[in-house]
Amino acid sequence: MTDRIAQLFERTRAEGRPALIAFVPGCWPEPDATPGIVRALLEGGADAVELGVPFSDPLADGVTNQAAYQQALDAGVTQDDVLASVRALREDGVSAPLLLMGYFNPMLARGTASFTRAAAEAGVDGLVVVDLPVEEAAELAEPARAHGVHLVYLLAPTSTRERIAAVGEHGSGFVYCVSVTGVTGARAQVSEELPAFIARVREHAALPLAVGFGISAREHVEEVGRIADAAIVGSAVVQTISEAPRERRHDAVRGLMERLSGRATAKAAAS
């Protein structure tokens, strides 16, 4: 089976740049919005996309994502609808890594074996489960491995050496490094403690490191690129979509990714 995530990091390393991973809540703002948004993200320069699976009690998310999830749930969106969006993108020939980011209970309610099989069949490459630390993850990690889906663990600036080592040992795909002690949401600058935190993780984990939470500008991506393998942009995407008129949405999303990936400056320099 093709490991799209491993291939992505091989490519970006060869190109000497960080991968840019975009996050957007699945099936939002409308239940059928995801395929178009994902294509626009990829066209603008995103290398991979994480789709948020709506949950009623998203306690690791800030107000921006929480409101988006609630809107999706109010429209009747389920985990299966998000999987259907992934399937549609694959049928349309999209080959970029696609991940699901969510909370454990909806996966547990479906059954972890059934859920990981459905995710793999839809074309999902990885899972990020924000309330499932490595100690509790076995019942999802085993079926995920069996179906060739990466279970990506998170680490935080508060993580101890033992916890970093455990994620280094059990992790898969990449490590999601949370840049701040806090919830998701855009911030003015990248945390000052980030370089020291990333250095600690590097010591114990050979996997690619992606940095998320609070990344919303090209400078943040560049800063992260100097020390890590990928930058994850979430709330800035959500805000852009929220603020754009519907008919301008895809242009706005493409434009944001062009700025964040540096293509916009490259374009300007070329003209």
Partner 1 sequence: MTTTADRSALPDERGYFGGFGGRYVPETLMPALAELEEAYRAAREDAAFGEELDRLLREFVGRPTPITRADRLAERIAGEGAPRVYLKREDLTHTGAHKINAALAQGLLAQRMGKPRIVAETGAGQHGVATATACALLGLECVVYMGAEDVRRQALNVFRMKLLGAEVRTVESGSRTLKDAINEAIRDWVTNVRTTHYLLGSVVGPHPYPLLVRDFQAVIGHEARAQLIEAEGRLPSIALACVGGGSNAIGLFHAFVDDPVRLIGVEAAGEGLEGRHAAPLAAGAPGVLHGSRSYLLQDAHGQVTEAHSISAGLDYPGVGPEHAWLKVSERAEYVSVTDAEALAAFRLLSETEGIIPALEPAHALAHLARLLPELGEDELVLVNLSGRGDKDMGTVADALGVTL
Binding site for partner 1 (CB under 8 A): 55-60, 62-63, 66, 70, 73, 78-79, 103-110, 130-133, 135-136, 153-160, 163, 178, 181-183
DSSP 129: E
Cα–Cα distance list, 112 to 8, 65, 188, 213, 249 (Å): 27, 24, 38, 27, 35
Output 78 or 242, the one with its CB closest to partner 1: 78
Q: How far apart are alpha carbons 186 and 105 in whole angstroms?
A: 26
**Residue whose CB is less far from partner 1, 9 or 55:** 55
Minimum distance from residue 134 beta carbon to partner 1 (Å): 9
Q: Order the strands of the 230-233 sheet from edge to edge.
A: 150-152, 126-129, 98-102, 48-52, 19-25, 230-233, 209-212, 175-178, 154-155
Distance CA 152, CA 176 (A): 7
What is the distance between the alpha carbons of residues 137 and 104, in angstroms, rounded to a whole number?
A: 10
Question: Between 110 and 202, whose beta carbon lies closer to partner 1?
Answer: 110
Other Cβ atoms closer than 10 A to 184: 25
Please identify, using beta-carbon distances, which residue of 179 and 261 lies nearer to partner 1.
179
Contact predicate 25/66, CB 8 Å: no
Report the nearest approach of partner 1 to the CB of residue 103 (Å). 8
**Active-site residue numbers?**
50, 61
User: Which residue in 70, 91, 86, 97 sits closest to 11, CA to CA?
Assistant: 97
CB of 254 to partner 1, least distance (A): 31
Residue with smaller CB distance to partner 1, 30 or 57: 57
Q: At closest approach, how far in Å is the CB of 104 from partner 1?
A: 5
CB of 15 to partner 1, least distance (A): 30
